[in-house]
């Protein structure tokens, strides 16, 4: 398969994930969870882990999809902060802890990518 087609597909996947993540984080939690998934909201600890994982995936997908790695790090970090402020407008609420775990997820993805990239070139 042509590498150009693969890169275009990865970009499409990353943008689709960003769209889904945005919708998931901006739709009021009671609307989605109570009607479709579970009876109650996740605990704080569970919510923090979810944020960490979601933003780990976000950074990882964007990192492999786009070339300018510094812009990707900046974009994902800025998105992790701004999406939390946007939640104020949608009745989701604002939390500094969520921002922290968004950034931790991005940071962990960055560190693991750099570690494995460095390890790959050492072997």
Three-state SS for 40? coil
Which domain range does residue 73 map to? 3-122
- Binning pLDDT at 50, 70 and 90, where does residue 123 land? very low
75 in Cβ contact with 121 (< 8 Å): no
Domain tally, the chain: 1
- Please give the model's pTM, rounded to 2 decimal places: 0.84
pLDDT at 32 over 80: no
**How many Å apart are CA 11 and CA 8, to the nearest integer?**
5
38 in Cβ contact with 88 (< 8 Å): no
106 in Cβ contact with 56 (< 8 Å): yes
């Amino acid at each position: 398969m042509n590498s150009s087609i693969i890169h275009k597909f990865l970009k499409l996947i990353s943008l689709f994930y960003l769209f889904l993540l945005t919708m998931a984080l901006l739709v009021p939690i009671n609307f989605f969870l109570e009607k479709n998934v579970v009876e109650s909201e996740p605990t704080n600890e569970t919510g923090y882990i979810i944020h960490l994982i979601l933003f780990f995936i976000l950074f990882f997908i964007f990192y492999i999809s786009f070339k300018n790695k510094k812009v990707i790090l900046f974009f994902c970090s800025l998105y992790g902060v701004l999406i939390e402020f946007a939640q104020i407008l949608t009745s989701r609420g604002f939390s500094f802890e969520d921002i922290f775990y968004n950034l931790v997820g991005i940071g962990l993805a960055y560190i693991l990518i750099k570690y494995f990239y460095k390890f790959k070139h050492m072997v």
